């Protein structure tokens, strides 16, 4: 039996979509943060939420890329969501998940705006990158994909609770089943590049989430 046939996840992987963008309700008055919203799944999520009326913060490391994404998204939102009666609300929030101090400061910067927070989508991540340590001395894939988002979420948690109904969404991956090290999350060898591969480090970070 090959590895993939052993994964329970595959029982549902090829079933029809169970949720679609069309099912997103009116989000007028809601505030959302999407990490890594300048590209990929984060960008698509940002467009969908803003298209339903949410005030969306693009939490990204690069201001240049985030602002470029906003300029691209604005006409796309108007085209895809003609029923939107107000201008899309998109803002940049600087977030560097490779540095836990900067990550916490990003959350505090949002809190200073004195806004509610109804939706936090932890999407940003790195995949199959060479071994490197973060500013805090943590293996970079684990630092960005898990530890950074953990610190960001915990710093915002009281605001999320105060804004209920609210939710935190962790963007996951089948890699949490397919590619983590056989021993799972071995914190003793977290920073040992000889014990893992680029792919297994990614799987480990998703397993942690």
Q: Which of 89, 108, 113, 202 is catalytic?
A: 202
Q: What is the CA radius of gyration of the chain?
A: 18
81 is a catalytic site residue = no
DSSP per-residue letters across 154-197: HHHHHHHHHT-S-EEEE---THHHHSS-TT---GGGTT-TTS--
Region at 91 (left for phi over 0; alpha for psi -120 to 50; beta for the rest)? beta
**121 neighbors 195 (Cβ within 8 angstroms):** no
Closest CA to 181 of 134, 141, 132, 147: 141
**How many of the other CB atoms lie within 10 Å of CB of 104?**
15
Q: In Å, how far are 25, 39, 56, 86, 177 from 81, measured between CA atoms?
A: 13, 20, 15, 11, 37
89 is a catalytic site residue = no
Task: Tell me which residues are annotated as active site.
Answer: 202, 206
């Amino acid at each position: 039996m090959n590895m993939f046939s052993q994964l329970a996840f595959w029982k549902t992987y090829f079933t029809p979509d169970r949720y679609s963008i069309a099912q997103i309700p009116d989000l007028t008055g809601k505030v959302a943060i999407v990490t890594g919203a300048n590209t990929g799944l984060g960008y698509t999520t940002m467009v969908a939420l803003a298209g339903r009326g949410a005030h969306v913060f693009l939490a990204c490391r690069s201001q240049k890329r985030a602002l470029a994404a906003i300029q691209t998204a604005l006409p796309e939102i108007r085209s895809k969501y003609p029923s939107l009666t107000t201008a899309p609300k998109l803002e940049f929030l600087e977030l560097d998940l490779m540095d836990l101090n900067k990550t916490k400061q990003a959350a505090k910067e949002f809190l200073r705006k004195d806004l509610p927070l109804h939706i936090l989508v932890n999407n940003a991540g790195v995949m199959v990158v060479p071994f490197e340590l973060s500013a805090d001395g943590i293996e970079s894939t684990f630092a960005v994909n898990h530890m950074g988002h953990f610190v960001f979420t915990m710093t915002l948690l009281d605001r999320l609770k105060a804004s209920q109904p609210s939710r935190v969404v962790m963007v996951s991956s089948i890699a949490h089943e397919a590619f983590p090290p056989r021993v799972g999350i071995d914190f003793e060898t977290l920073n040992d590049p000889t014990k893992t591969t680029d792919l297994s480090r990614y799987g480990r970070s998703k397993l942690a989430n």
